[in-house]
Amino acid sequence: MGDHRQGRGAPPRRLALTPASRLPRGRAGLALLAVLAGAAAGARADAPVPTQPRVRVLLLETGGSVLVREGAGPARATRVEPAPGGLLADSRPVGSVWRVESGGVLHVGDYRVRGALEVLRVPLGLQVVNRVALEDYVAGTVAREVYPDWAPEMLKAQAVVARTYALHQRGRHPGRAFDVRGGTSGQVYGGVDAETPAVWAAVRVTRGEYLADSEGPILAVYHSASGGRTASAEEVWGRPVAYLVSVPVEGEEDSPDTYWRASVSGTTLGRALAALGIRVGPVRELRVSERSPSGRALRLKVRGADGSESLEARVLRSVLGEQVIRSTLFEIRAADAGFVFVGSGHGHGVGMSQWGGQAMAVRGASYREILAAFYPGTELRR
């Protein structure tokens, strides 16, 4: 793990776990996403702390050119493009890295961001990286990962988790030009356009707070909905992590992924498996052969016209698409045209369930209690 030393300030606070059964009950209404594209510049609650760390966020990878604008005026636009041996900025050679920093807002592609932008020459074209103050990064991430009109305590919990994940990733890949990806393979980052007053309020209240164990900031992973019980890191990734264990979750009924169905034909399954090198032909039988302690499918047995094979359920989920097979917590039923996956939850199931955390917040839990429930044994540090 990367080495992160705690700065001076308040002493670490151990999170106290409050059992969900002791919290008041209630039901969260299904929230509507309300990120206002123009709320950006005025939404920030206060200026960033000058000494706070910066996060390097990979925004774009492209084989072509990018147009970078400072502020709203087209006169301050620069086109950066790859060239043999480096980059061209408005047709002028600038080496292998071009950088611009602004006290305001920078525009590139669909992003409006704070801080600095770096365009780097890489073998396949360009990478665009945003070097942004940590708290600005958190404010640009929370409303892309949860609904911005969720309960304030859940927004605070998401802010702490987003900050923790970024700190954990900083410095872990010294050969890379970025710390985190700005899409679904990292944390979804919206920059200035994702900022709202409610999000900035959550960021301001939790400023500098992160979850830690004896080695520093933890791997604070999370997912949309667990289907009633989270998964441990060991059952999903094969490596035990003390604070990523399976815990029960209540109140996820408002999640659109509490129950889901997906129909897949035997021919489609056969083609998907062939792309993995598993050539069994059109699939005639598919069943779960092994489950994890939290009830998720671990291995599948497949029989086709040309043979039989065994494979990991997460591999099949990946090749069919994670929006089709939303989690590995599923049953398989035979149908006339193929198979129906009947499941619950969305995501890998490890760490915090966002819909579960929202339900806890609606029942009266604080953000500290939410974090304690999903990352037991960790400390909240500032």
Q: Secondary structure of 271-294 in the HEC alphabet? A: HHHHCCCCCCCCEEEEEEEEECCC
**Inter-residue contact 229 to 351 (CB < 8 Å):** no
Q: Residue 76: what pLDDT?
A: 87
pLDDT tens per residue, range 308-364: 999 999 999 999 999 999 999 999 999 988 999 999 999 999 999 999 999 999 999
The distance from CA 101 to its chain's CA centroid, rounded to whole angstroms, is: 26
Band (pLDDT 50/70/90 cuts) for residue 171 is confident
Q: Residue 333: what pLDDT?
A: 96
Q: Residue 14: what pLDDT?
A: 35
Q: Rounded distance, CA 257 to CA 276, Å? A: 27
What are phi and psi for residue 317, nearest 5 degrees? -60, -40
- Tell whether the model's pLDDT for residue 9 goes beyond 70: no
Is residue 305 classed as helix, strand or coil in its secondary structure?
A: coil
Residues recorded for the chain: 382
**Inter-residue contact 203 to 80 (CB < 8 Å):** no
pTM above 0.85, yes or no: no
**HSE of 288 in the Cβ direction (CA atoms, 13 Å)?**
20
Mean pLDDT throughout 201-209? 98
Mean pLDDT throughout 35-41? 31
Q: Residue 103: what pLDDT?
A: 86
Band (pLDDT 50/70/90 cuts) for residue 175 is confident
CA angle 40, 176, 68 (to 5 degrees): 40
Band (pLDDT 50/70/90 cuts) for residue 376 is very high
Helix axes 367-374, 354-362, angle to 10 degrees: 140
- Tell whether the model's pLDDT for residue 200 goes beyond 90: yes
- Token couple for 144: 């892309």
- Tell whether the model's pLDDT for residue 140 goes beyond 70: yes
Band (pLDDT 50/70/90 cuts) for residue 282 is very high
Kindly give, in sequence order, each residue whose CB lies less than 8 Å from that of residue 78, ignoring residues fewer than 6 positions away. 67, 68, 69, 89, 90, 98, 100
Percent share of the chain, pLDDT over 90? 80
Q: Rounded distance, CA 145 to CA 147, Å? A: 7
pLDDT tens per residue, range 238-261: 999 999 999 999 999 999 999 999
Q: Rounded distance, CA 165 to CA 201, Å? A: 20
Q: Residue 67: what pLDDT?
A: 96
Band (pLDDT 50/70/90 cuts) for residue 73 is low
